[in-house]
Amino acid sequence: MIGLLSDFGLKDTYVSELKLVLLSHGIDDFLDISHHVEPGNSRHGQFFLQSVYRCFPAGTVFLAVIDPGVGTKRAPVAVHSGPYWFVGPDNGLFSFAASGDVFHIETEAPLFASRGSETFHGRDIFAPAAAAIYNNRMDFLKKVPGLSVVEPIRFVEDIFNLFPGEILHSDSFGNLVTSVRNSLFGRVNLEVNGEMITECHSTFAEGGNMLFMVPGSKGLIEIVARNRRASDMLRTETGSEIQVRIK
């Protein structure tokens, strides 16, 4: 299977063009993870990948295109970590898999002879590379010492080693996914933009219309409000800092 992640959205033809490349290589076994990563935000993309990749079957190739440096000297890479491959730009997107084997994609290889653009490497480099790896073709890969950009997400999970966390994601309901593990649920308060969140509930339905915490489905504490958008209430965004306080 090939897992697809991008910041392309669905308004334009970009996602379809990726899929057409895969289909041209005889591949129809692909699944959309999301195409609504915040534009150019590789750290947001890292969160999406890291939170879901283990749910995919062994052997999955992840084609991830969050690439604000397209056409520059940033390297195109493929990372082999455990039973998975990750294909995309070396810009921090694959930091969580940095201990795996890293390969530079040799773009002068015949596989990329039909490259047509320096502004759409997702279609012209990464999609053909992912398709080739899926089909067990590796002749265009050159092993390198490691990723150039490694910025792993730090998760707050130890009551005796607290440090500032961050907002990793705001979902469609305005619920805020934090970098604080559920293991600290009920043991800490969270402060965002000067607002202290102290109330804890096990479900959305138990809380009221003010801010409270729930243990999120991704193993991370979420800041929410019943029938309201916590993101609007806190005037916050992805990457905002969270102070973690012992109750």
Q: Residue 236 in contact with residue 195, Cβ under 8 Å? A: no
pLDDT of residue 114: 76
Q: What is the chain's length?
A: 247
CA angle 25, 43, 91 (to 5 degrees): 60
- H runs (alpha helix) in 37-104: 42-52
* Domains recognised in the chain with CATH numbers: 2-144 (3.40.50.10790), 165-246 (2.40.30.90)
pLDDT of residue 180: 98
Phi then psi for residue 14, to 5 deg, are: -60, -45
Amino acid, single-letter form, for residue 160: F
SS3 165: strand
pLDDT of residue 204: 93
What is the mean pLDDT of each successive set of 10 residues along the chain, which is 247 residues long?
98 97 97 98 98 98 97 95 98 98 96 84 97 97 97 96 97 97 98 96 93 97 96 95 97
pLDDT digits (tens, 9 = 90+) for 190-227: 999 999 999 999 999 999 899 999 999 999 999 999 99
pLDDT digits (tens, 9 = 90+) for 85-117: 999 999 999 999 999 999 999 999 999 977 778
Question: For residue 219, what are the β-bridge partners?
Answer: none
Residue 242 to residue 137: CA distance in whole angstroms: 44
Taking every pair of C-alpha atoms in the chain, what is the biggest distance, in angstroms? 60
pTM of the model: 0.95
pLDDT of residue 116: 74
Residue 151 to residue 179: CA distance in whole angstroms: 14
The dihedral through the CA atoms of 58, 87, 35, 14 has a sign that is: negative
